[in-house]
């Protein structure tokens, strides 16, 4: 499959999206892919809440 047509799941909602259209969040050892800014923002809020509760 050509690279530009490869589909990947959104890290948050698991919707399959073209890799070329994904929004990315990069950490030290990973890259996460999201279908939209909204999914990425939702994930970030969950991460902050989890850290706060730890």
Whichever domain contains 24, its CATH number is: 2.30.170
pLDDT surpassing 60 at residue 12: yes
Question: Distance of CA 39 to CAs 3, 42, 45, Å?
Answer: 23, 5, 10
Task: Please spell the DSSP secondary structure of the chain, one letter per residue.
Answer: --GGG-EEE-TTT--EEEGGG-EEEE-SS-EEEESSHHHHHHHHHHHHHHHHH-
pLDDT band (50, 70, 90) for residue 5: confident
Q: What is the pLDDT of residue 36?
A: 96
pLDDT in tens, 18-47: 999 999 888 778 899 999 999 999 999 999
Token pair of 16, please?
């399959």
Name the average pLDDT for the chain.
89
Which residues is 31 bridged to in the sheet?
Answer: 26
Residue 18: domain span:
3-53
Number of domains in the chain: 1
Residue 27: which residues within 8 A CB-CB, separation 6 or more?
A: none
């Amino acid at each position: 499959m050509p690279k530009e047509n490869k589909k990947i799941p959104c890290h948050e909602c698991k919707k399959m999206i073209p890799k070329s259209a994904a929004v990315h969040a990069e950490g030290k050892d990973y890259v996460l892919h999201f279908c939209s800014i909204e999914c990425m923002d939702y994930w970030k809020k969950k991460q902050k809440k989890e850290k706060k509760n730890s």
